[in-house]
Structure 1
Amino acid sequence: MTMRRRTISVAAKAGVAALLVLVLELIVDRAEVLLPLAMLGWLIALAALRPAVIRHRQPRIALVAAMLAIAAYADQPNLLAFCLFLTATGLAATLPRRRFDDAASWAVRLGRLALAAVVGPWRDRRRLAHIRAHRLHPRVTVTAVAAALIVPLGGALLFLILFATANPLIARALDSMILPDIRTVIWRTAFALAVLLPVWATLRPAAGATRWQAPGGQTVPPLLRPGTLILSLATFNAVFAIQNGLDLVFLWSGAALPDGVTMADYAHQGAYALIVTALLAAVFVLTMLSPGSASAAHPPIRWLVTAWIGQNVLLVASSALRLIDYVDAYGLTPLRLAALIWMALVATGLMLILWRLLGQRSAAWLINANALALTLVLAACSVVDLSAVAADWNARVALAKGRSGPPLDLAYFERLGPGALVPLAMLERHVGSPRLHDRIEHIRFWMQTQMEEQQSSWNGWSPRNARRLAAAKALLADRGSGAAPPARRLTGAQQP
Structure 2
Amino acid sequence: MTDLLAPAPSYCRRFGVAVLLVALADFFFYGQPAGITWFLFGIVLAAAVAALNPLPLASNDRWLWIRPAALLCALLPLVENVSPLSVSVALAAMAVFALSLAGRLRSGVARIARQLLAFVIAAPFRFVGDFLRWRKAARHHGRRRIRLAAIAVWVMPLGLGLVFLALFGAANPVIEYWFSLIDLFALLNLIQLPRLIFWMAVLAGVWAFLRPRLPRFLRRLPRPARPARAEPAVPARTAIEDVLFGKAAILRALVVFNLLFAMQTGLDATYLWVGVALPDGLTYAAYAHRGAYPLIVTALLAAGFVLAALRPGSETSGDPLIRQLVYAWVAQNIMLVISSMLRLDLYIGTYALTYLRIAAFVWMGLVAAGLALIIARIALGKSSEWLLSANLLTLSATLYACCYVNFAALIANYNVDHSYEMTAQGVPLDTQYLRSLGPGALPALDRFLAHQANAPATDEPCRRDLAIAHAGDEAAYRAEQKNWRAWSFRDWRLIRTLDKRGPLVVPQPSQPSVPGY
TM category (shorter chain) comes to 0.7 to 0.9
Deviations 1:323-353 (A, max 9, x none): 1001111211121111111111111111111
Residue 122 (1) aligns with residue 143 (2): no
- What is the one-letter code of the residue matched to 1:203? L
List per-residue Cα deviations over 1:167-211 (Å, max 9, x = no partner).
xxxxxxxx99579479x5443333223222232222222265699
Instruction: Identify the residue that residue 294 of structure 2 maps to in structure 1.
Output: 273
CA-CA distance at 1:74 after TM superposition: 3.6
- What are the residue-to-residue correspondences of 1:267-416 with 2, within 5 Å? 267-398=288-419, 402-416=423-437
CA deviation map 1:277-316 (0-9, x unaligned): 1111111111221233221110111011111111111111
Ranges in structure 2 where 5+ consecutive residues have no aligned partner? 157-182, 224-240, 511-517
Aligned length: 450
CA distance in 2, matches of 1:50, 1:259: 70
Map of 2:481 onto structure 1: 455
Pair 349,443 (structure 1): closer, same or farther in 2 beyond 3 Å: same
2:50 corresponding residue in structure 1: 47
Q: Distance in 2 between matches of 1:353 and 1:344?
A: 14
| 1:192 partnered with 2:199 | yes
Q: Which stretch shows the higher mean deviation, 424-433 or 18-27?
A: 424-433
Distance (whole Å) between structure 2 residues aligned to residue 51 and residue 380 of structure 1: 31
2:373/2:387 contact within 8 Å kept: yes
Partner of residue 172, structure 1: none
- With over 3 angstroms needed to count, the CA separation of the structure-2 counterparts of 1:256 and 1:483, relative to structure 1, is closer
Q: How far off its partner does 1:100 sit? A: 4.3
CA offsets per residue over residues 243-280 of structure 1, 9 Å max, x none?
11111111111012233433333223121111111111
- Alignment of 1:75 with 2:80, yes or no, is yes
TM-score, length-normalised on structure 2? Answer: 0.75
TM-superposed CA distance for 1:72, in Å, is 2.0
Q: For residues 331 and 239 of structure 1, what CA distance do their matches in structure 2 show?
A: 32
CA contact (8 A) 2:262 2:332 kept: yes
1:53–1:92 CA contact under 8 A, matched in 2: no
Query: What residue number does 1:486 align with?
Result: 508
Offset of residue 427 of structure 1:
3.3
Distance 1:3 1:80 in 2: 34
Tell me the distance in 2 between the aligned counterparts of 1:140 and 1:409: 66
C-alpha separation in 2, matches of 1:428 and 1:327: 23
Preserved contact between residue 105 and residue 213 of structure 1 (Cα < 8 Å): no
Larger CA deviation: 429-438 vs 112-121 = 429-438
1:204/1:107 CA distance change after superposition, 3 Å: same
Letter in 1 for 2:77: A
Per-residue deviation at 1:457? 3.5
Question: Which residue number in structure 2 is paired with residue 153 of structure 1?
Answer: none
Deviation of the 1:459 alpha carbon: 4.2
**Residue of structure 1 aligned with 2:276, choices 241, 252, 255:** 255
Displacement, 1:95? 2.6
- Unaligned ranges ≥5, structure 1: 149-174, 216-220, 489-496
Identity of aligned residues (%): 35
1:38 aligns to 2:41 (yes or no): yes
Deviations 1:396-450 (A, max 9, x none): 3359971134433333322222111111223344567345795564454233222
Q: Which of structures 1 and 2 has the larger relative contact order (alpha carbons within 8 angstroms, sep 6+)?
A: 2
Query: 1:320–1:343: 8 Å Cα contact kept in structure 2?
Result: yes
Matched, 1:91 2:96: yes
Q: Which residue of 2 aligns with 1:427?
A: 448
CA contact (8 A) 1:32 1:460 kept: yes
State whether residues 53 and 59 of structure 1, in contact with CA within 8 Å, keep that contact through their aligned partners in structure 2.
no
Flag the 1:426–1:458 CA change in 2: closer, same or farther, 3 A.
same
Aligned-partner SS, 2:34: helix
Q: Within 1, Cα distance between the matches of 2:217 and 2:72?
A: 23
1:108 aligned partner: 114
Aligned counterpart, 1:469: 495
**Matched residue of 1:113: which SS?**
helix
Matched residue of 2:82: which SS? Answer: coil
Partner SS, residue 245 of structure 2: coil
Tell me, in whole angstroms, the C-alpha distance in 1 between the residues paired with 2:9 and 2:199: 23
- Whether 1:240 and 2:261 are equivalent positions in the alignment is yes
**Aligned residue for 1:167?**
none
Displacement of 1:122: 1.6
Q: Report the Cα distance in structure 1 between the residues aligned to 2:266 and 2:362, rounded to whole angstroms.
A: 25
> How much is the aligned-residue C-alpha RMSD, in angstroms?
4.0
Could you report, residue by residue, the CA deviation over 1:368-414 in whole angstroms, capped at 9, with x for unpaired residues? 11111111121122222212111112233359971134433333322
CA distance in 2, matches of 1:455, 1:272: 40
What is aligned with 2:149? 141
The alpha-carbon distance between structure 1 residues 233 and 123, as it changes in their structure 2 partners (threshold 3 A), is farther
Rounded Cα–Cα distance in structure 2 between residues aligned with 1:355 and 1:213:
37
Question: Which of 55, 62, 69 does residue 64 from structure 1 map onto?
Answer: 69
Do the aligned residues in 2 keep the contact of 1:451 with 1:465 (CA within 8 Å)? no
**Worse overlay, 290-299 or 111-120:** 111-120
What SS is found at the alignment partner of 1:282? helix
